[in-house]
Amino acid sequence: MSRPALSMSGVEKSFGPFRALGPVDLDLMANERLGIIGPNGAGKTTLINCITGVLRPDSGSVRFEGADITALPSFRRARLGISRTFQIPHPFRGMSVVENLLVPLDYIHGVEDRHRRAAEVLERVGLSARAAYPSEDLSQLELRKLELARALVGNPKVLIADEAMAGLSEAEIDEVLAILYSLNEQGVAVIMIEHIMHAVMRFSQRVVCFETGQLIASGTAEEVTRNPTVQKVYFGEQAHH
């Protein structure tokens, strides 16, 4: 955890006159486990989109391993090693689990043996036994694992897990956390965006909280949980749900 993998400086994004994000300064260290929390509409998705290249910030810069990537399209950022999972998994229907990985692998440069890479990734997420299964027959947990697997085929250095545990039981949450821990041990920095508080608090070395596009708190899980502003804007809101 010595140098930043990702570095955002003065990142701002507006939709029309409405400023959804920023200005934000935020670093992700290499191999860090960073949690991002915040109420609905706080700007978390907008931030991810600025990191992955879906959105271009109006101002500010995004750097990856020291290089300015603010103007790079998504696929170039993915090639550099920034990958994400989606809140709602959309596997390719009518294809097996392994085929779901072989398709994106077609677009990834430098993979000598696609089948071997797909098998390795399935092993990493504990889905090897389901390789030949039709993706539509997977359980909720297995779908989440496939979503992770799809994000891993390019061997990312940074993985953004966007609500990767929504709808899972406690035991299943533990399983996904164990996978994310093991990826992190293998050198992947993980950004976890999550509404399941005990999971994100347990997993993250550092937690940041967003509210109306601003970073309002940063610290250890304990520090952020105890922060009075976070309690007011986030935990207060959560208690009403």
Ligand X SMILES: Nc1ncnc2c1ncn2[C@@H]1O[C@H](COP(=O)(O)OP(=O)(O)OP(=O)(O)O)[C@@H](O)[C@H]1O
**Which residues make up the interface to ligand X (CB under 6 A)?**
15, 20, 38, 40-46
Find the shortest distance in angstroms from Cβ 136 to ligand X: 26
β-strands 214-219, 206-211 pairing: antiparallel
Q: Report how far residue 15's alpha carbon sits from residue 101's, in angstroms, rounded to the nearest whole number.
A: 34
Complex with ligand X: residue 3 or 232, whichever CB lies closer: 232
Complex with ligand X: residue 203 or 210, whichever CB lies closer: 210
Complex with ligand X: residue 43 or 126, whichever CB lies closer: 43
Q: In angstroms, what CA-CA distances link 142 with 84, 86, 166?
A: 17, 14, 13
Find the shortest distance in angstroms from Cβ 231 to ligand X: 18
Find the shortest distance in angstroms from Cβ 173 to ligand X: 18
Helix (H) or strand (E) holding 24: strand 18-29
And the tokens for 210? Answer: 């967003």
Q: Answer positive or negative: Cα dihedral of 78, 82, 83, 87.
A: negative
What count of other Cβ atoms lies within 10 Å of the Cβ of residue 240?
5
Complex with ligand X: residue 44 or 150, whichever CB lies closer: 44
Find the shortest distance in angstroms from Cβ 93 to ligand X: 25
Complex with ligand X: residue 28 or 101, whichever CB lies closer: 28
And the tokens for 120? Answer: 């390795």
Q: Answer positive or negative: Cα dihedral of 180, 185, 188, 191.
A: positive
Find the shortest distance in angstroms from Cβ 43 to ligand X: 4
Q: Please name every residue paired with 84 in a beta bridge, in sequence order, or none if there are none.
A: 160
And the tokens for 212? Answer: 């109306």
Task: Reduce the DSSP state of residue 238 to 3 states and report it.
Answer: helix
Complex with ligand X: residue 41 or 73, whichever CB lies closer: 41
Find the shortest distance in angstroms from Cβ 46 to ligand X: 3
